[in-house]
Amino acid sequence: MSEEQQAANPQTGVAEVHKLGPTLLRVAWLAVLLGFVMEALLLLFAAGFGILPGLGEAVADLARQVSWSTIVCVGLAIGTVVSKARAQLMGLLGLLAAPLASTVARTVHQGTLGALTVAEKTSWFTSSLLFVAFLKGVEYGCLGLILGWIGQRAWGGAAAHVAAGLAVGLVFGSATGALNQLTAPEPLSTAKLVAQGVNEILFPVGCALVLFAATALGEKAGS
């Protein structure tokens, strides 16, 4: 249905609002799964370099990854059920959700470490936390705008979502990696740089696929 047809039929907007709950539920469990998958990938890369973290640190990292994934993806998903100005709304939601997710994920990570009495080894990151949160907001604001626009196109399938996530991940992942390297008290190890690069580049791809899959599952269930 075109935007003109949706505007002419107010019941369409009401129907889409009713889809919000089921859509967010699908996005939430897919985002949790994404968090587990990303953490598993990071552990595999760490194992390749022979620097597996301890159990406590791994649990804290998993908690951070899952909370970050859930908040960001759910924030962006709200825009997927809005037909009018969907791309603009998704961009705004990404801009707001990413800094919130970054702060919450950081808090969850520190709280889990404290509960497990594990000393955090990345205290240098705190000094640049606000700037990183701002950068994340811009990144996922852009991702939301792009995905909102793609979602309104006939060719906006899984491949288009992957391409959008990869492009955003490459651009902003490089910027985040450079920032982390510049603000670190000492040069980061190759293993840490690789792990950060994998996370920064692949997560936007995963989030884009989560939104696409949740929408596709909803359409399948509806049919």
Burial class, 103, CB count within 10 angstroms (exposed 0-12 / middle 13-18 / buried 19+): middle
∠ CA(165), CA(52), CA(202), 5° rounding?
A: 5
For 26, residues 6+ apart whose C-beta sits below 8 A from its C-beta are: 213, 214, 217, 218
pLDDT of residue 149: 87
Splitting the chain (223 residues) into consecutive groups of 10 residues, what average pLDDT does each group show?
A: 45 54 87 92 82 78 85 79 53 58 52 46 51 81 87 90 95 85 75 82 93 86 67
Say if CB 186 and CB 169 are below 8 A apart.
Answer: no
pLDDT of residue 94: 56
Query: What is the pTM for the complete model shown?
Result: 0.73
pLDDT of residue 118: 45
